[in-house]
């Protein structure tokens, strides 16, 4: 669908996406398609990774933002543009505006990751911090647009944006013409809708699967209701797809053309991000890793060859540290245990000797001596350990119990 001159809706077509591809020539990169031997073995068919995490600004968002801004009338360009985002869309709008010589103001929430705020400023946008959540930031940006005449650039709910994102689909067909399934993360739905428009027009046999985080999955209930419905307080580490309500424009396309929308857990997202880093040597944000999480959760549900779209790589280093630890825990490679010891010299060293013999790497140790539940001569110790997997975790626990240290948590 797209807007007509009277504000009505009409279809986004393959010609729209091809026009966007010409417009983006020399602006957006044709990102790499990398094979994954590990996922290929798991799925039982070839799996390729479409690396939009290596796109300029670190995500696919530049494509849609550039096409939308490039299509503005001269008087609209003169008034400038405004956007609201916690990260990827902000950077896409900032760079697109700079390339087109259009003034840009971007509202970002307080607490937005500093690397994303700094990058948005460096691309040339004026950044204004407002609100604690994106909904508050969005309201501020829309008020600014109404007051100043600046054009509001929506992150997903506009046909020009969808056409720009659809160029990813054209590249997939060019790079992997034998593809049978495309798996893509879904937030508001702009990327999935664009890919679906392009791919289904040329290859209606290709299955398109959308992926949402369980805590921010607005599409399954919306598709059941036949209209966009809201999810209250969406919660997920995957901020790139943490959207509480589908866009009106992409929803109609997803409903018509996307074959299935699946959900993944936070543990699965963490494991996917860790896999991308360790096996593919690719830095991917949680939203970008959601297609890989879907493959890990149900590897035999996808007909190959499969293309998983890694939609972005803008992950805050602090979040990366937390997610990697979470991912290691989800894979059984990180173990936290609490023990009670006799509070005497050498007691901790003895425990550490047991762990060393079990080949567990101690990451952190903390003591508690003042808990009223403890006896006069007792101390409680919490240890964070790096292990080699679930079987090794069981071996470590058994070694501690055999040495007389019952694990209490």
For 82, the token pair is 């405004």
Catalytic residue check, 22: no
Q: Are 218 and 243 in contact (CB under 8 A)?
A: yes
As a whole number of angstroms, the longest Cα–Cα distance in the chain is 81
Give yes or no: 311 in active site.
Answer: yes
Tell me which residue has tokens 């809201």.
Answer: 230
Point out the catalytic residue in the list 85, 97, 222, 311: 311
33-35 and 47-51 beta bridge pairing: antiparallel
Strand partners, 33: 50
E-state strands within 109-204: 126-129, 151-152, 181-185
Output the six-digit token pair for 345.
């010299």
Catalytic residue among 61, 200, 222, 290: 61
SS3 26: coil
Residue 22 in tokens = 């010409």
Q: Which own/partner contact pairs does 127-133 have at CB distance under 8 Å and 24+ positions apart?
A: 127/90, 131/107, 133/109
Within 10 Å of residue 227's Cβ, how many Cβ atoms? 12
Residue 65 Ramachandran class (φ > 0 left, ψ -120 to 50 alpha, else beta): alpha
Rounded to whole angstroms, the Cα distance separating 147 from 267 reads 44
Catalytic positions, please? 61, 311
């Amino acid at each position: 669908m797209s807007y007509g001159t009277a504000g009505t809706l009409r279809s986004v077509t393959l010609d729209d996406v091809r026009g966007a591809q010409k417009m983006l020539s020399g602006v957006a990169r044709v990102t790499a398609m990398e094979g994954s031997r590990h996922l290929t073995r798991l799925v039982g068919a070839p799996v390729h990774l479409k690396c939009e995490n290596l796109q300029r600004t670190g995500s696919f968002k530049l494509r849609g933002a550039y096409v939308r801004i490039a299509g503005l009338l001269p008087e609209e360009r003169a008034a400038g543009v405004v956007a609201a985002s916690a990260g990827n869309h902000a950077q896409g709008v900032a760079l697109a505006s700079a390339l087109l010589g259009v003034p840009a103001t971007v509202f970002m929430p307080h607490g937005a990751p500093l690397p994303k705020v700094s990058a948005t400023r460096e691309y040339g946008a004026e950044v204004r911090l407002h609100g604690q959540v994106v909904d508050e930031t969005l309201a501020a940006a829309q008020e600014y647009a109404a007051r100043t005449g600046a054009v509001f650039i929506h992150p997903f709910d506009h046909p020009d944006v969808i056409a720009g994102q659809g160029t990813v689909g054209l590249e997939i067909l060019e790079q992997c013409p034998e593809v049978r399934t495309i798996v893509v993360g879904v937030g508001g739905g702009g990327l999935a809708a664009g890919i679906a428009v392009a791919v289904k027009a040329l290859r209606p046999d290709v299955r398109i699967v959308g992926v949402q985080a369980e805590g921010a999955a607005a599409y399954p209930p919306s598709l059941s209701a036949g209209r966009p419905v809201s999810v209250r307080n969406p919660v997920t580490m995957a901020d790139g797809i943490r959207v509480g309500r589908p866009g009106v424009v992409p929803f109609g396309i997803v409903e018509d053309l996307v074959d299935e929308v699946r959900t993944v857990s936070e543990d699965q997202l963490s494991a996917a991000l860790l896999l991308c880093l360790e096996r593919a040597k690719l830095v991917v944000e949680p939203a970008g890793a959601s297609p890989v999480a879907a493959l890990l959760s149900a590897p035999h549900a996808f007909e190959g060859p499969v293309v998983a779209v890694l939609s972005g790589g803008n992950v805050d280093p602090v979040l990366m540290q937390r997610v990697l630890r979470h991912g290691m825990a989800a894979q059984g490679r990180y173990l936290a245990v609490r023990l009670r010891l006799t509070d005497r010299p050498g007691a901790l060293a003895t425990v550490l000797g047991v762990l060393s013999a079990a080949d567990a790497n101690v990451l952190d140790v903390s003591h508690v001596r003042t808990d009223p539940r403890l006896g006069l001569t007792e101390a409680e110790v919490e240890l964070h350990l790096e292990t080699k997997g679930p079987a090794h975790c069981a071996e470590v626990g058994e070694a501690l119990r055999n040495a007389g240290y019952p694990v209490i948590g």
